[in-house]
């Protein structure tokens, strides 16, 4: 996967400075995008929140879509890093899967507004940037598929490899559903209840 920084041109040659300023830019933009929506947020508002002039902002990016891409990349990496950090240590695949489901759903709950932003606005990216973001999501699917595949190898899970990939995608969708359909789900379930019920359904499919 290409370095996301290479997809966005910059007038600044100091790569470390560019990285720092772009992270500050993401921090300034993401809340505006969540609150107002990507299309209703102006570059001038982002510059004001960023604490820099329009001219200085354009030293680090070229378009508002560049900012959106940086925001989407930041959200994707945040989810991936948090999920990966919970899978350290040697555990059996069944325990790893339960923990990964719990932690992924919990992460989605913590960043639910960002999750909605990511999936609502990815369509506004250009083809290359959109592919990058979607590839990053497939990386999360790979994490769940890897756990399930290990369980198949150890004869703990009793499904074939093709079904393992589909089930990994299902886990992703069920986590996202907590954000997408929160208006309905939270009338009947707490997050803890939702995690338990979904985990039970998933583990039943592996028997």
The residue written with tokens 């595949």 in the block is 149
Q: Report the pLDDT value the prediction gives residue 90, as an integer from 0 to 100.
A: 65
Do residues 149 and 78 lie in contact, with contact meaning Cβ atoms separated by under 8 Å? Answer: no
Q: Is 174 exposed, middle or buried (0-12, 13-18, 19+ CB in 10 A)?
A: buried
Q: Report the pLDDT value the prediction gives residue 197, as an integer from 0 to 100.
A: 97
- Domain spans, the chain: 4-205
Q: Report the pLDDT value the prediction gives residue 46, as an integer from 0 to 100.
A: 92
- Which of 1.10.3720.10, 3.90.79.10, 1.10.10.10, 1.10.357.10 is the CATH number of 4-205? 1.10.357.10
Q: Report d(CA 145, CA 162) in Å as an integer.
A: 10
Residues in the chain with pLDDT < 70? 1-7, 88-90
Q: What is the DSSP letter of 111?
A: T
pLDDT, tens digit, 9 for 90 and up, residues 38-59: 999 999 999 998 888 998 899 8
Q: Report d(CA 152, CA 160) in Å as an integer.
A: 8
Q: Is 95 exposed, middle or buried (0-12, 13-18, 19+ CB in 10 A)?
A: exposed
Do residues 129 and 176 lie in contact, with contact meaning Cβ atoms separated by under 8 Å? Answer: no
Q: Does the model's pTM come out above 0.85?
A: no
Q: Report the pLDDT value the prediction gives residue 12, as an integer from 0 to 100.
A: 82
Q: Report d(CA 22, CA 126) in Å as an integer.
A: 19
Q: Report d(CA 108, CA 116) in Å as an integer.
A: 10
Q: Report the pLDDT value the prediction gives residue 89, as an integer from 0 to 100.
A: 66
């Amino acid at each position: 996967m290409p370095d996301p920084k290479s997809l966005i041109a910059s007038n600044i040659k100091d790569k470390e400075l560019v990285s720092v300023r772009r992270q500050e830019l993401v921090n300034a933009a993401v809340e505006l995008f969540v609150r107002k929506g990507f299309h209703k947020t102006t570059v001038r508002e982002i510059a004001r929140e960023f604490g820099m002039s329009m001219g200085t902002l354009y030293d680090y990016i070229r378009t508002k879509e560049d900012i959106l891409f940086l925001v989407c990349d930041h959200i994707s990496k945040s989810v991936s890093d948090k999920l990966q950090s919970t899978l350290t240590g040697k555990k059996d695949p069944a325990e790893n899967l339960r923990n990964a489901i719990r932690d992924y759903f919990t992460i989605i709950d913590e960043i639910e507004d960002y999750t909605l932003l990511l999936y609502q606005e990815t369509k506004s990216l250009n083809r290359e940037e959109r592919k990058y973001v979607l590839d990053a999501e497939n990386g999360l699917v790979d994490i769940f598929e890897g756990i399930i595949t290990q369980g198949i190898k150890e004869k703990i899970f009793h499904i074939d490899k093709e079904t393992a990939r589909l089930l990994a995608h299902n886990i992703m969708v069920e986590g996202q559903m907590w954000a997408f359909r929160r208006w309905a789900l939270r009338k009947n379930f707490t997050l803890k209840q939702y995690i338990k019920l979904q985990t039970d359904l998933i583990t039943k499919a592996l028997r």
